[in-house]
Chain A
Amino acid sequence: MDISLSLILFDYLKRSEIMENEKNHIIPYRTFLIVLAGLIVLTLTSVAVTKIYLGTLTVFIALFIAALKSTFVLRVFMHLKFENKMFTLMVIAVTLLIGVVIFITLLDYLFR
């Protein structure tokens, strides 16, 4: 079962490697500069929001902005948008794993 799964994965990676070689994507400088401007604006927004008292909502807004920023970094700076979809899937899986571990741990502390 394990072997067949990895064979499918390998096959998938190989096939898209051929596709990738045909494309050989070059991301223009402008894209990075636009994303950088967006990231700085989000950072400043996140700082500005903490000045307003919103109670527990502050935590969620700060984390939401952080998540938004990391999506930009992952997709554009780390090229996930232009790479093999397999990488995106793996990143989502690891993020979910960490999220689930934090969630279950907090459930334990909240309802103990």
Chain B
Amino acid sequence: MSLNMEIHRDDLASKTGMWLFLFTEMILFGGLFVVYSVYRYKNADAFHLAAHELNIFFGTANTIILLISSSTIAMSITAMQKKNKTFALLLLGITIFLGLVFLANKYVEWGHHIKEHIYPGSAVLALRGQGDVLFYGLYFFMTGLHALHIIIGLVFIGFIVVFIIRGKVTSDNFVLHENSGLYWHLVDLIWIFLFPLFYLIT
């Protein structure tokens, strides 16, 4: 009897499920981009001026940090396939580190705005008019939701690190590792659009 016992595994189904989840994420942010387009169309000048106050240097640095972290997690899967567990763990560690650096930059940026009394519901911001209120409302909400995704992604990758150490994720069973990579790339993908929409279109 016990010889017939076999743990059922369906990697393709697992990956398909992950993609379906990612589609719901894309639609969630897609809805926010619709709101952004409409408000931007209705308050073109205010958006134009408000975007000037965002620091392009921080935005660019964060974009490059996320791109590098995406490549390191992608390479960690290659390392896993080549049975190089140590290198895979090192690359995942770098990914987590870069994610934390991204959050630290975001903290500095937000801190700078809040110090100048620019945050949703602020009286100083309200005096500057409807367009600025909408721009910063969207800025804080969309980058905040994105940062939340970064935090979730870091926890997800943290679990993968533990699973690799404990041998639950191996060189022939790494679909979870791949799924964490997909999630991290999606977070990168969203930032690829957030960056030009908030920092560059001035």
Contacts and interface: CB of A to CB of B under 8 A. Distances in A.
Interface in A77-112: 77-79, 83-84, 87, 90-91, 94-95, 97-98, 101-102, 105-106, 109-110
A17 B71 contact: no
Interface string B180-202: 01100110110011011100111
Given A27-B78, A106-B37, A98 B71 contact: no
A47 B19 contact: no
Interface string A64-75: 011001100110
B113 interface: no
Contacts of A98: 26-27, 30, 33
A106 B34 CA distance: 9
Interface residues of A, number: 48
Contacts of B38: 105-106, 109
A94 B25 CA distance: 11
Given A65-B196, A74-B189, A39 B67 contact: yes
Contacts, number: 112
A8 interface: no
Given A13-B12, A13-B16, A43-B67, A70 B78 contact: no
A26 B78 contact: yes
A67 to B, nearest CB: 9
B200 A50 contact: yes
A13 B16 CA distance: 10
A79 to B, nearest CB: 8
B126 interface: no
A34 B197 CA distance: 26
A77 B34 contact: no
A26 B74 CA distance: 11
B23 A70 contact: no
B200 A94 contact: no
B70 A77 contact: yes
A25 to B, nearest CB: 9
Contact of B27 (A26, A32, A94): A94
Nearest to A53: B202
A109 B75 contact: no
Contacts of A47: 56, 60, 200
Given A32-B75, A78-B182, A105-B38, A73 B189 contact: yes
Contacts of A70: 189, 192-193
